[in-house]
Amino acid sequence: MTTKPRAVVLLSGGLDSTTILALAIQSGFEPYAVSFRYGQRHEIELTAAARIAAAAGVAKHILVDVDMRQLGGSALTSDIAVPKSKTVDDIGTEIPVTYVPARNTVFLAYSLAWAETLGAGDIFIGVNAVDYSGYPDCRPEYIEAFERMANLATKAAVEGTQPIKIHTPLIHLTKAQIIKTGLSLGVDYSMTTSCYDPAKDGTSCGHCDACLLRRKGFMDNGLVDPAA
């Protein structure tokens, strides 16, 4: 029996990161999942992440506290209202107020630290440049620059024992394609949550960008969102 290489998987409890976890497993990695309590308005996604990690049988799941709330500047970590629309066509084309300053850089930096201590060189993140083209830190050129920096940052990379690869298999997929991929791998999307502004009982709002894009993704597959 050969030992599987380890990979760090950023797991938010949402649709994209849950698909990424399934893809990492399919690719032959032993997954180590990391979730962040960064000051988001609700912790429903963290509960979902823990459930998903357990169901997927990850080697380890850690929850990391990184307080980004004291920085402000985003609807996801402060009292700025989450924008709501009727359909995906109403979603603006500018960078939305749900953008959290440098969030993926902070998350990837921490994941890089964990990867090095695990002896892992592979990091999976569910960024997507199609539906969320408004977020600068979801674009291929950003990911490439992060990877390049990472390979100059760690002892393991610099000594040549463990080069760093940032895996973004969803980056060029539509939400419908992501869902199709996940379903083919047996992902149970009823366990995931994507809403930016859920009710206290976890019910999705149905009208934030994340809810609308997700619903359309299932509709395009002839399905109803099982978590809606």
Instruction: Tell me which residues touch a copy of itself (CB under 8 A).
Output: 62, 64-68, 70-73, 95, 99-106, 108-110, 112-114, 116-117, 136-137, 139, 141-142, 145-146, 148-150, 152-155, 157-159
Q: Say if residues 178 and 134 touch (Cβ distance below 8 Å).
A: no
Can you list the alpha helix ranges (DSSP code H) found in 88-203? 103-118, 140-153, 155-158, 175-184
Q: Closer to a copy of itself at the Cβ: 64 or 130?
A: 64
Q: Which is nearer to a copy of itself, 14 or 39 (CB)?
A: 39
Q: Residues 162, 153: contact at Cβ < 8 Å?
A: no
14 close to 193: Cβ distance less than 8 angstroms: yes
Question: At its nearest, how many Å lie between a copy of itself and the CB of residue 143?
Answer: 9
User: Which residue number, 111 or 204, has a Cβ lying nearer to a copy of itself?
Assistant: 111
- Tell me the closest approach of the beta carbon of residue 60 to a copy of itself, in angstroms: 10
Strand, coil or helix: what is 124?
A: strand
| Nearest-approach distance from CB 145 to a copy of itself, in angstroms | 4
Give the nearer residue to a copy of itself in terms of CB position, either 5 or 101: 101
Contact criterion met (CB below 8 Å) for 136 and 95? yes
CA–CA distance, 223 with 101 (Å, rounded to integer): 34
